[in-house]
Structure 1
Amino acid sequence: MDYIKLLFALLLFLVGCAGISPKPLSIDQRLAAIPRKDAPLEHKLIIRWNEQAVPYLEAGSDADLAFGLGLVHAHLRGGQLALLKRISQGRISEMAGPFTTKVDHALRILDLGRAAPQIEAALPDETRRWLERFVEGMNYYQANTPNTPPEFSLLGISFEPWTVRDVITLSRLVGADVTWFAYFSLLSERRKGQTDEASWRRLIATTQAGAPNFRAAENDSQLLHDLLRASGRSGSNSLALAPGRSQSGGALLANDPHLGVQLPNFWILAGVKSPSYHAVGMMIPGVPIFGIGRNPGVSWGGTNMRAAASDIINISDLDPAGFSKRSELIRRRLWPDAKREVRFSSWGPIISDAELLRGGDGETLALRWEGHDPSDEISAFLGAARAKNASEFIAAFKSYAVSSQNILFADSSGVIGQIMAARVPLRSTSGRASFIRTLDEAKQDWSTHLATPQLPMQLNPQKGFLASANNRPAQTNLFPSSLFSDDERVKRLEELVLSRPLWRVEDLVQIQTDVVSRKAPALRDDLLSFMPDEATKRHPTFVTQLKSWDGSYAASSRGALLFELLLSEVAHKVYADKKGRVSNAASQWSYLTAYLKTDLSALEPHLCKEILQDALDKAAKRADRFKNWGEMHRLPTQHLLARLPILGGRFTLADHPASGSRETVMKTYHGLERGLHQTSYGSQARHLSDLSDPDLNYFTLFGGQDGYLGSQNFADQVPLWENQQYVRLPLREDVVKAEFKRVLVLPN
């Protein structure tokens, strides 16, 4: 099969050479590709652009604004949109050939757009019109632009019309439940007979397992995992400071979402003004809402709540005759098409029919997910963008369901708050002996649902700030979950906020780029306490440097390198199976910090001594290959096509030493590492706003605005990212005109 893959990649190379080395294009050359003639508009549409290719749209009607946003999204992210659309619909094989058939089958079974017809039918008139005009803008651009994205020739695709239903389905991909990352990885272990239920129960006891940190064992499973993780809003930090903690006297808001680190970035920066909307912020390509943003009255952001909005249910006792089924045609590039069956039960799709999602032998497993039922997240975020104050902002989320989010906000009057935007089952208990639920448990858990208005919220806490980092949002048992993040990031956020009495908005970058871990030095001390004297004497420099480490995961840190190498060796010796593989549960940071010391203590003294001595010997040998953490821990600047065999290297622009770690505030995820590795998930966008001034809004992306390969704005924000700099997105008209100097007017 590997030989066939190489031949297939060579064929793609021959038919798609134009997509590999596109010519460089200036911002003016790129803007010239935007069609303007005969644009179907009610009024004049003005699009201003700054040097980073951020658009600011001024429209005479909301409908014209939506049209303009569709045009802008298609212009800046045409290639990315084509990929996301096909991923959300399980059509990857149309681009990749037969090698992703299993992934497409799994995606067809997950059926992300299952509720899209019902959602579309129930849309409020203003939201329906907004989406229709957004789609018209995308389709107008595609039909009239002289250029197509360079990667189209490599992928063998072309522009195809968009529909409102396509946008809703794409929004469901974005709303994928982060619990899936854990569940699907554990299913991979289960079908191989490797599931460690004892470790699973220990992990649940911590209630702090970082869901996106789970890995998949097989290549195809890893691809499915990566696609969902890269697109889903699975991580983040968010911070709201009350006026009493601000030098300006206005509330402050800071957000840095954690997603797949790849180019094009998952976000588009934009500003808008129309009769109903006046906002700047970050938009998801193909979904016309501001997920993170600022208007004159309110600024908002958030983190994934990781609430239990999904369950895998064992329905083996149900009669299969009661399942609906359909045949799916999977079109495969340069290969015969494939037919696969998809079944659906009253409890959700039968995921065990997918080869990548099977459990144990003979098990019939269904996925119950809130996202398979109708809801309206787009109207919620449109309402948030129109909100003039905290009360209007809170009310906007009554129709919201997936994915569950901790939404933090601040308004111009000084109110700060946090709401739980979610729809979750009212569970009777958080006790979970297994990650697979029985039918009796499911019937009890899924009989009643709670939505945002019924969930706890916080306003104006006495301490003067709110922090969220995917941790448990409130002391409530309404939606127990075993997949909240470790509390290290949120405690570090609190520590940093309290380190000074008052903050300026521009100083909050120091928090967003912090790479200090408090738990790592404590675990280091635990490991060294077991270290035999003879091992310490054999590697005195290693031990001395490790002891002096302050917990900083700066790229220049030698101590971080030594700690991670030693930790990996010890963890493998304590937890690895006969094949040398550490289970998903036991490899989690929360598991290691909670149990590794205890498990070492439980060993016979001579065995513990042997483990630590051998681990230190191996770690010291590996450490000789690297000077510091950044030499081993790398952050590539690369297009999402960099994973292609043979051709992937052509889509990597640079490879940087990376600061940060798995649970530092500036997150750059990694596992138990023993050598050179790349981070592909973590901090990838930043936002700061000061509510005292409508112009004090700052954003930056890892990468750039323009997803067009060869554009000067494809990766021009990477230096800003590395140097902790931002792009200002003001709201006042005169400031916008001064800073957004390139102007396009439609129709021409």
Structure 2
Amino acid sequence: MIVVAKSFAILLVLLLTGGCSALWPDDRETEERLSVFPSEDLPLESEVSLRWNDYQVPYIEAENDHDLAFTLGLVHAHLRGAQLTLLRHVSSGRLAEIAGPPATDIDHALRILDFGHAVEEIEANMPDETRRWVQAFVDGLNHYQQQRQKDPPEYGLAGLQSEPWTIHDILRIGRLAGTDVNWLVYFSLLEERGDPEFQRLWQRALEAGQNGTVSFRGSEQQQALSDFLAGHSRSGSNTVVVSPERSASGGALIASDPHLGLNLPNLWILAGLKSPTHQSVGFMVPGLPFVAVGRNPDLAWGGTHMRAASSDLYDVSDLPEDEIQVSETDISVRFWFDETRQVRRTPYGPIITDADIVPNGADETLALRWVGHEPSDEITALLRANRASTPEEFRNALESFALSPQNMLIADRQGNIGHIMATFQPIREEFPPDDLVLDPADPENRWQGFHRTSDLPYILNPEQGFLASANNRPTDAGPGMGYFYSPDERVRRLEDFVADRRNITLDDLAELQRDTRSFGAERLSAVLLQAIREAELHADHADFLAPLEDWNGDYAADARAPVVFETLLYHLWPRTQGVESSSELASAVNEWNYILSYLEGELAQMTPESRRSALSESLEAARKDAEDYPAWGDMHRLSAAHSLANLPVIGSFFEYGNYPVGGSRETVMKTAHGLVNERHAARYGSQARHLSDLSDPDANYFVLFGGQDGWLGSANFMDQVPLWRQGEYIQMPLTQERIVEEFPRLMKLRGGSG
């Protein structure tokens, strides 16, 4: 009760100390928002043309790279000022400065994970060209922030303050975006580590290829940490490339849709960049000065998370004290007393079990070694890749790229298509290991250096004329890469779709990006129907089960079959595990990979009597649940909501729309959810889309779930939601004539001399 009272008291103070502009923001049209953008007395070397379209998407045309990078910094600060500040707080472990006492343990965990550990060495090793580019970008962020007449509405509510930006801040945000998604699986498994059946769980998780975006169950703080790590990391995505012989236009095609948290503002910015040495269009992470998914005049690219094992856990309980570095970190806490916490570091990484919210079922002292604590240079890699004109140049550019591990699929205007693996992969003697936690005294458990991009498999122009990637297990060629992958459902659907077609168009690929069919659900549905028939229960429930007859696994929003399947699965799965509710099971056991791998076998191993009882009870409960939801979209929803919607009491102020949506855990149009039997919101999935036809420099199309402008009340805060829902896109051309046509609002940015 004390904690609840404290939370309500804090919220009341927030309302009384500047939060009203966030709760009731003023409406701002595009022209009003653009009117505050600085255009005079800027530290530019030459005049810059900055064009905008109706969605407040910018196209920067500069005469040199300094001015291009500086203006890009202005643009990021203008569009996503509050979001950038939040990203800095997350990556630095400073959330308690915003949320007060409930975030103190989260900050401690983030400080131990230490996203900034390698930034000094990374900056010191940067090529001069990269450092000049990043410094100009940082200067742009700072200039906009300094001249801004009014802070974003979230500042008063969240207690945010403007601080000067540094290159270190940018590098920390990059490390946050490169979070190892395997941590979430590790944490969920560590909850069960003290259980006598843990080793069986570990082996079964390896066999199932446990999904890398699992959330570990526990306190609100644990769930929040999970959401921050999964929602901000580049942890999902689909990409498919098509060769000219399969294309209607005679050019290579690419379709890419990143997967991240479904919050507003979106975790991408859409922009066009042009200078004498650099032209590209596409998606950028706020605060990172390169195009991560997009197109230049010669080549297009899209990445999917490789799910490579970039981290290992070590039991350092017996490590000598002189091998442990101990430091203290001061955590500022809003509306409360500041706290000092201890951070310990070993040669095998920081001791993560010192964080109270990291699960530790076996009460071990565990250190985490992570590739992200080693120096690498993603900014240089992506800047060079953005300028690449051939597959070989693109691959060579990625040699310094480590995080997050990416399957980069490319297509170029010469008709080449390719698949490049980009990461620093630890060289291990034994992989995968026999246990989740390693013994540091065993030499076989120590890293022996890294495989880099040039050491990893590379595919160029395969005979079948297409390539697809969807976080699936990669080729067996080369070194072992990871433990936990998505099932093959999405990649099979991508491959089957293009394999069955010739004369493929971008319209076809746009249709594919909205595809809601699950091969896994189709198969399991047939398994359940067969089991129900064998148990002689079908006749009593024929009306309820009718939608599953001949169901092909399509989770269309207006379909009835997904409601029947999901409510039945919700009740049946825990019964196959010998419990009444999924809440009694380990988080990893409730994930789709695990269910997909073991449900059929678990049913087969039950005695006929227990199987019939489980099926009968589940059917009765599912029938009752499903009565309230005629179609999947009545149960499965997409919420257009700001991240602040998670706040108690006032969260509803930040909910702007709630829509029926199709899709599921592993459909191409991914809208992820857990086991469900009632109305729920998708929490993660396909929140951005990209298409390009390499035969036409202007045939580049993008859309965000949400909008371009992060300013609350802006006309462009969520004006792309209708486009996203209807399968429409924004064109991002490369030729000057079309740039002028598509981006009619022209600003001239000038230096101090006029």
| Structure 2 contact 184–212 (Cα < 8 Å) conserved | yes
2-structure distance, mates of 1:275, 1:524: 56
Code of the aligned partner of 1:681: Y
Q: Are 2:123 and 1:120 equivalent residues in the alignment?
A: yes
- CA 576–436 in structure 1, closer or farther in 2 if over 3 Å, else same: farther
Match of 2:180 among 177, 181, 199: 177
Q: 1:356 is paired with a residue of what secondary structure?
A: coil
- CA 441–494 in structure 1, closer or farther in 2 if over 3 Å, else same: farther
| Structure 2 contact 312–368 (Cα < 8 Å) conserved | yes
1-structure distance, mates of 2:192, 2:36: 49
Shift of 1:194: 8.8
Q: Are 2:630 and 1:624 equivalent residues in the alignment?
A: no
How do residues 368-407 of structure 1 correspond to structure 2 at under 5 angstroms? 368-407=369-408
Shift of 1:443: 4.8
Q: 1:244 is paired with a residue of what secondary structure?
A: helix
| Structure 2 contact 432–483 (Cα < 8 Å) conserved | no
| Structure 1 contact 516–552 (Cα < 8 Å) conserved | yes
- CA 181–576 in structure 1, closer or farther in 2 if over 3 Å, else same: farther
2-structure distance, mates of 1:673, 1:362: 32
Code of the aligned partner of 2:130: T
Q: Partner of 1:596 in structure 2? A: 599
| Structure 2 contact 188–588 (Cα < 8 Å) conserved | no
Which deviations, in whole Å up to 9, do the C-alpha atoms of 1:469-491 show, x marking residues without a partner? Answer: 00122113513421111111100
Match of 1:162 among 151, 158, 165: 165
2-structure distance, mates of 1:413, 1:537: 60
Q: 1:312 is paired with a residue of what secondary structure?
A: strand
Q: 2:291 is paired with a residue of what secondary structure?
A: strand
- CA 535–577 in structure 1, closer or farther in 2 if over 3 Å, else same: closer
Q: Are 2:690 and 1:687 equivalent residues in the alignment?
A: yes
Give the structure-1-normalised TM-score: 0.98
Residue ranges of structure 1 left out of the alignment (5+ in a row): none
Which deviations, in whole Å up to 9, do the C-alpha atoms of 1:557-594 show, x marking residues without a partner? Answer: 10011001101111011226577423223212222122
Q: Which has the higher mean CA deviation after the structures are superposed, 146-155 or 692-701?
A: 146-155
Which deviations, in whole Å up to 9, do the C-alpha atoms of 1:34-91 show, x marking residues without a partner? Answer: 1223210111111100011110001111011000000000000001001001000000
| Structure 1 contact 535–616 (Cα < 8 Å) conserved | no
Give the structure-2-normalised TM-score: 0.97
How do residues 140-289 of structure 1 correspond to structure 2 at under 5 angstroms? 140-190=143-193, 193=195, 196-206=198-208, 208-289=209-290
Match of 1:562 among 546, 561, 564: 564
2-structure distance, mates of 1:120, 1:575: 51
How do residues 283-682 of structure 1 correspond to structure 2 at under 5 angstroms? 283-440=284-441, 443-476=444-477, 478-531=479-532, 535-575=537-577, 577=579, 580-682=583-685
Which deviations, in whole Å up to 9, do the C-alpha atoms of 1:353-392 show, x marking residues without a partner? Answer: 0001142454110001011000000000000111122221
2-structure distance, mates of 1:718, 1:442: 53
The percent identity for this pair of structures is 46
Q: Which has the higher mean CA deviation after the structures are superposed, 85-94 or 530-539?
A: 530-539
Q: 1:199 is paired with a residue of what secondary structure?
A: helix
Which deviations, in whole Å up to 9, do the C-alpha atoms of 1:228-282 show, x marking residues without a partner? Answer: 1111000000011111111111100110001001110010000011121111111
Q: Partner of 2:101 in structure 1? A: 98
Q: 1:39 is paired with a residue of what secondary structure?
A: coil
Q: Partner of 1:732 in structure 2? A: 735
Q: 1:301 is paired with a residue of what secondary structure?
A: strand
Q: Partner of 1:710 in structure 2? A: 713
Code of the aligned partner of 1:55: P
2-structure distance, mates of 1:745, 1:65: 13
Shift of 1:213: 2.9
- CA 204–543 in structure 1, closer or farther in 2 if over 3 Å, else same: same
| Structure 2 contact 438–445 (Cα < 8 Å) conserved | no
| Structure 1 contact 253–300 (Cα < 8 Å) conserved | yes
Q: 2:748 is paired with a residue of what secondary structure?
A: strand
| Structure 1 contact 243–249 (Cα < 8 Å) conserved | yes
Q: Are 2:724 and 1:721 equivalent residues in the alignment?
A: yes
2-structure distance, mates of 1:195, 1:650: 45
Q: Which has the higher mean CA deviation after the structures are superposed, 590-599 or 621-630?
A: 590-599
Q: Are 2:43 and 1:40 equivalent residues in the alignment?
A: yes
Which deviations, in whole Å up to 9, do the C-alpha atoms of 1:125-171 show, x marking residues without a partner? Answer: 00000010000000000000212110101001121110001000110
| Structure 2 contact 429–444 (Cα < 8 Å) conserved | no
- CA 375–646 in structure 1, closer or farther in 2 if over 3 Å, else same: same
Code of the aligned partner of 1:538: D
Shift of 1:225: 0.7
Count of aligned residue pairs for this structure pair:
746
Q: 2:656 is paired with a residue of what secondary structure?
A: strand
| Structure 1 contact 663–669 (Cα < 8 Å) conserved | yes
Shift of 1:431: 3.8
Shift of 1:534: 5.4
Shift of 1:463: 0.3
Q: 2:712 is paired with a residue of what secondary structure?
A: coil
Residue ranges of structure 2 left out of the alignment (5+ in a row): none
2-structure distance, mates of 1:215, 1:668: 19
Q: Which has the higher mean CA deviation after the structures are superposed, 421-430 or 93-102?
A: 421-430
Superposed structure 1 runs of 4+ greater than 6 Å apart: none
Q: 2:213 is paired with a residue of what secondary structure?
A: helix
Shift of 1:442: 6.8
Q: Partner of 1:20 in structure 2? A: 23
Q: 1:439 is paired with a residue of what secondary structure?
A: coil
Which deviations, in whole Å up to 9, do the C-alpha atoms of 1:506-525 show, x marking residues without a partner? Answer: 32111111001122122112
1-structure distance, mates of 2:240, 2:545: 37
2-structure distance, mates of 1:504, 1:287: 32
Q: 1:570 is paired with a residue of what secondary structure?
A: helix
Q: Which has the higher mean CA deviation after the structures are superposed, 425-434 or 383-392?
A: 425-434
Q: 1:618 is paired with a residue of what secondary structure?
A: helix
Code of the aligned partner of 2:103: T
Code of the aligned partner of 1:513: R
Q: Which has the higher mean CA deviation after the structures are superposed, 27-36 or 312-321?
A: 312-321
1-structure distance, mates of 2:360, 2:386: 43
Q: Which has the higher mean CA deviation after the structures are superposed, 535-544 or 90-99?
A: 535-544
Shift of 1:445: 4.5
